[in-house]
């Protein structure tokens, strides 16, 4: 399928004159082909979302993506760009997402700020997500994994289960809720809220945000009276110490961000990863034969089929160049991780899934790069490793119940997700 419309006309600067619609279903169905063609055509392409007027620059080459994400000449907060109407940009953004004004402030997360404010917010929680702290959680993650696999409803509907709903979502929801301190009975609601936000029913976003914020406020009151060894307690302490360490709104937003960012993405890495391995029997056999390949396999799965294909917008704080092409102060740039992760300039034969690929590790861009590099990367990798290890050990006859190419996808710009993952366990 030809995802990105082709163009023959170019501007004076050699830029493609056409504007790519990021919400084009053909592009969302084949982002690898579509963004791949953009990457080979020029360092910059013009993109826009249906219903949102202002176009953005898309960068798709590995080196350019890393540059944009690490270069201090870019800001995440448009208010840090001189002369830009940040309030107007923000109002249009929120309107496009259907967010009522009274909830707007809860969406200003650690991802939306720069410099000292960013460091302050990130430092408050980063200790909980270091490799060492995450490593100490491993036995608990293994226990949750075994319990969830025990409960998979085998035998139902001809032995076919939706692995996404039955396992890939519950695992990361359980883990992040335990870390944050959200009691078990409340956890299924987060799955529903996450789903509702993504489906974005008109007028529904406000109600979902109201429910989430109300819920978090109740949790905070409860934890304040009964502290525990969890992130919620740590955040309350930081807030109650005063001294501008963490405002009331920031505390609520941080919980919201961690729980949503901590499960939506990981669920789809597990889903995409399991599907990819089952569609590559040689890779699957190699992994079964040598579980030592697991950490490298997870890195490669994030590169090959990671769930996050694009980052937040970055705003140029001055006139600059990307790949020799001009970007003006105030213009927005979107780093296409999918382009970077399949760039032949960086990865040999990038379309090939190869769990023994060298160099492996964090060479991929699937968790972003620079100051906003994914806070939960070590946790997400660990959950995926534990999940794959247990799944392969317990279900030697595991197969896809639908051919890989026919798996139903959730079409979202900048994301790569399955709608469901029907598996035959034995």
> Considering beta carbons, is residue 59 or 374 the nearer one to ligand HEM?
374
> Considering beta carbons, is residue 249 or 399 the nearer one to ligand HEM?
249
> Considering beta carbons, is residue 162 or 383 the nearer one to ligand HEM?
383
> Considering beta carbons, is residue 314 or 401 the nearer one to ligand HEM?
314
Rounded Cα distance between 383 and 373, Å, is 18
Q: Name every residue whose Cβ is closer than 8 Å to that of residue 133 and which is 6 or more positions away in sequence.
A: 127
Per CB under 6 A, the list member of 283, 311, 341, 382 interacting with ligand HEM is: 311
φ/ψ of 25, rounded to 5, equals: -60, -30
State the DSSP code for 109. -
Per CB under 6 A, the list member of 60, 174, 253, 257 interacting with ligand HEM is: 257
User: Does position 308 bind ligand HEM by CB under 6 A?
Assistant: yes
Provide the token pair at 247: 């405002």
Rounded least distance, CB 86 to ligand HEM, Å: 17
Per CB under 6 A, the list member of 252, 340, 374, 401 interacting with ligand HEM is: 374
Per CB under 6 A, the list member of 43, 330, 339, 366 interacting with ligand HEM is: 366
Rounded least distance, CB 176 to ligand HEM, Å: 6
Rounded least distance, CB 98 to ligand HEM, Å: 21
Rounded Cα distance between 282 and 263, Å, is 29
Binding flags for ligand HEM, 269-298, as an x/- string (CB under 6 A): x-----------------------------
Number of alpha carbons in the 13 Å side-chain half-sphere of residue 36: 15
Per CB under 6 A, the list member of 46, 122, 223, 364 interacting with ligand HEM is: 122
Rounded least distance, CB 397 to ligand HEM, Å: 27
Rounded Cα distance between 402 and 342, Å, is 26
Q: Which residues, 82 to 121, sit near ligand HEM by CB under 6 A?
A: 110-111
φ/ψ of 59, rounded to 5, equals: -105, 135
Rounded least distance, CB 160 to ligand HEM, Å: 25
Q: Name the strands in the sheet holding 332-336, side by side, starting at the edge strand that comes first in the sequence.
A: 19-21, 44-48, 56-59, 332-336, 310-316, 74-75
- Residue 345 CA to its chain's centroid (Å): 24
Provide the token pair at 82: 């001189």
User: Does position 253 bind ligand HEM by CB under 6 A?
Assistant: no
Of 263, 266, 73, whose CA–CA distance to 187 is shortest?
A: 263
Rounded Cα distance between 14 and 59, Å, is 15
Where do contacts with ligand HEM occur on this chain (CB under 6 A)? 69, 110-111, 122, 129, 176, 257-258, 261-262, 265-266, 269, 306-308, 311-312, 366-368, 372, 374-376, 379-380
């Amino acid at each position: 399928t030809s995802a990105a419309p082709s163009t023959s006309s170019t501007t004076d600067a050699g830029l493609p004159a056409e504007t790519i619609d990021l919400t084009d279903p053909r592009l969302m169905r084949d982002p690898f082909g579509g963004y791949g063609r953009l990457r080979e055509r020029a360092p910059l392409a013009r993109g826009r979302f249906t219903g949102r007027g202002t176009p953005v620059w898309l960068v798709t080459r590995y080196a350019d993506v890393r540059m944009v994400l690490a270069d201090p000449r870019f800001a995440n907060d448009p208010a840090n760009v001189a002369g830009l109407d940040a309030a107007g940009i923000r109002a249009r953004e929120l309107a496009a997402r259907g967010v009522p004004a009274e909830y707007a402030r809860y969406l200003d997360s650690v991802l939306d700020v720069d410099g000292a404010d960013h460091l302050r917010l990130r430092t408050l929680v980063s200790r909980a997500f270091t490799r060492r702290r995450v490593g100490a959680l491993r036995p608990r993650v293994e226990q949750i994994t075994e319990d969830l696999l025990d409960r998979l409803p085998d035998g139902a509907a001809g032995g076919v289960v939706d692995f996404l709903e039955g396992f890939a979502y519950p695992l990361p929801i359980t883990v992040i809720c335990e870390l944050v301190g959200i009691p078990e009975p409340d956890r299924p609601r987060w799955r529903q809220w996450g789903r509702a936000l993504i489906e974005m029913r008109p007028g529904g976003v406000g109600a979902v945000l109201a429910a989430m914020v109300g819920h978090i406020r109740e949790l905070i009151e409860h934890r304040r009276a009964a502290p525990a060894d969890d992130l919620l307690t740590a955040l309350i302490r930081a807030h109650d110490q005063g001294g501008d360490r963490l405002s009331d709104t920031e505390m609520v937003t941080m919980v919201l961000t961690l729980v949503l960012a901590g499960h939506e993405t990981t669920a789809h890495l597990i889903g995409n990863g399991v599907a990819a391995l089952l569609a590559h029997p040689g890779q699957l056999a190699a992994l079964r034969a040598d579980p030592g390949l697991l950490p490298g396999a997870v890195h490669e799965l994030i590169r090959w089929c990671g769930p996050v294909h694009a980052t937040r917008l970055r705003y140029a704080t001055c006139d600059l160049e990307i790949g020799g092409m001009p970007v003006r102060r105030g213009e927005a740039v979107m780093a296409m991780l999918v382009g970077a992760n399949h760039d032949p300039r960086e990865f040999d034969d990038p379309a090939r899934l190869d769990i023994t690929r060298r160099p492996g590790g964090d060479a991929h861009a699937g968790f972003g790069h620079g100051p906003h590099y994914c806070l939960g990367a070590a946790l997400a990798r660990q959950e995926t490793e534990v999940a794959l290890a247990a799944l392969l050990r317990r279900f030697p006859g595991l197969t896809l119940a639908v051919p890989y190419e026919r798996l139903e996808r959730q079409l979202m710009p900048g994301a790569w997700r399955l709608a469901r993952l029907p598996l035959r366990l034995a």
